[in-house]
A = this chain, B = another copy of it.
Amino acid sequence: MEFNKFYNIYRERVNHELEIFLNKKLRLAGKVNGDSKKLVSIVKEYTLRGKSKRIRALLVILGYKGYSGKGDKEIIKAAAGIELIHSYLLMHDDIIDQDDLRRNKPAVHKHFEEIGEKKFSQEKATHFGASMAIVAGDVANVLGYELLTNSKFPDHFKNKAIKQLNELLFFVTLGEGLDVYSGLSPRIDSKTIEKIYEYKTARYTFEQPLKIGALLAGAKEETLTPLSKFSIPLGIAFQIQDDALGLYGSEKSIGKPVGSDLKEGKKTLVISLALKRAFARDKKIIKGALGRKDLTLAEIKKIRNIIKTTGAYDYCQRLTGNYIRQSKEKLDSFNNFNIEVKKLLSNLADFIGQRTH
């Protein structure tokens, strides 16, 4: 099947599964208490917001089909579960990064903050919003586990997949912690940035979902190394690209304000490289902008230009290209892997290299 067609069909089916599952949970929460539904209903709305790429779900499905997993129904449930896990991490990440927009709509903490503002002082409303978002994330997490645990695969396959999900979450939360903690030190080296990309994105978004799908099809753990070698460089490429889009894309296409990494003072690879390469005066401008919540679009555009002038932007584009090539080369070492699915993975790598949102 052609990649775009495959992608669109399965994205739709995962969305459909999420909707059905979350409607069921809404009814269950309603039985506890009317207010309890508010949490599940924000989990549903947030998870089903437009623009979600469902890359993790896609990789679960590709891992499963690559190892000749049969049927669609159950793997779509497991894939939908991984998307709920993603919602959970995003909700917490939004609180931590103080991102108020996600996919063009208020983040969960912002949503509840606005409700709280009608009753409380601003300070209390902010705390109320963050509290509800912590809990909403926790709800999304357990619902993700539930979808995977309740999918109808042989118990020993499923158990391995749950172990893999545990591993995924251990490393992604460590990566998140590292990310928060690195905010303490003004100088963060590119080695630490790479570690964050590896754990927060590459392993989490690419390697582990692919492995979870493979394990659900009955693949042996010890045969999965080639999957890691393919997906880790692909994930790093994705993150470098994602940072660039966050800075050079438009708010509409990326679903959140342009330059939010700058405003949060986050040292992405491109910013860190630009700082290393820029002349003293330009370095001062970038440093002065980092962490300033009130940056104007004009100021952001100025920084964009500086970053281009240093060559850091072009360097990152080339780096992305290299990682994608490196990733695709590893496909040759996949054994006992469906040849059609291998082609789809290769198309996915191209898609990531060319994406604009």
For A162, give the chain B residue with the smallest CB separation. Answer: B149
Q: In the bound complex, what is the Cα–Cα distance between A199 and B195 (angstroms)?
A: 40
Shortest Cβ distance from residue A169 to the other chain B in the assembled complex, whole angstroms? 4
From the candidates B128, B158, B181, name the one contacting A132 in the complex (CB within 8 A). Answer: B181
Q: Which of A157-194 contact B (CB under 8 A)?
A: 158-159, 162-163, 166-167, 169-171, 173-178, 180-184, 192
Are A36 and B174 in contact, CB atoms less than 8 angstroms apart?
Answer: yes
Per-position 1/0 for A130-163, Cβ under 8 A of B? 1110111011011101100110000110110011
Assess whether A245 is interfacial by the CB under 8 Å rule: no
Q: Contact partner of A127 among B98, B115, B176, B177, CB < 8 A?
A: B98
Per the bound structure, the CA–CA distance linking A139 and B92 in Å amounts to 13
Complex: how many Å from CA A35 to CA B180? 10
Is A354 among interface residues, defined by CB-CB distance under 8 A? no
Q: Is A119 an interface residue (CB 8 A)?
A: yes
CB distance from A316 to the nearest CB of B (A): 22
How far apart sit A143 and B173, CA to CA, in the bound complex (Å)? 11
Q: Are B146 and A177 in contact (CB under 8 A)?
A: no
Q: Is the CB of A142 within 8 A of B163?
A: no
Distance in angstroms from A91 CB to nearest chain B CB is 10
Residue of B nearest to A135 (CB): B177
A32 in the interface, Cβ–Cβ < 8 Å? yes
Q: How many copies does the complex hold?
A: 2
Interface residues of A in 74-101 (CB under 8 A from B): 92, 95-96, 98
Interface core residue of A98, A127, A174 (most chain B CB under 10 Å): A174
| Chain A interface, DSSP helix/strand/loop, else mixed | helix
- What B residues does A321 contact at CB under 8 A? none
Q: Does A29 belong to the interface (CB within 8 Å)?
A: yes
Considering the complex, which residues of chain A in the window 245-260 have a beta carbon less than 8 Å from any beta carbon of chain B? none
- A135–B174 alpha-carbon span in the complex (Å): 8
> A139 to B163, alpha carbons, bound, how many Å?
14
- A36 interface neighbour in B25, B35, B115, B178, Cβ under 8 Å: B178
**Residues of A that sit less than 8 Å from B by CB:** 25, 29, 32-33, 35-36, 38-40, 92, 95-96, 98, 115-116, 119, 127-128, 130-132, 134-136, 138-139, 141-143, 145-146, 149-150, 155-156, 158-159, 162-163, 166-167, 169-171, 173-178, 180-184, 192, 195, 199
Other A-B pairs, 13, CB within 8 Å; known A139-B174, A142-B166, A155-B155:
A32-B195, A33-B195, A35-B181, A96-B135, A128-B183, A131-B180, A132-B177, A141-B141, A142-B169, A142-B173, A145-B169, A146-B170, A149-B162
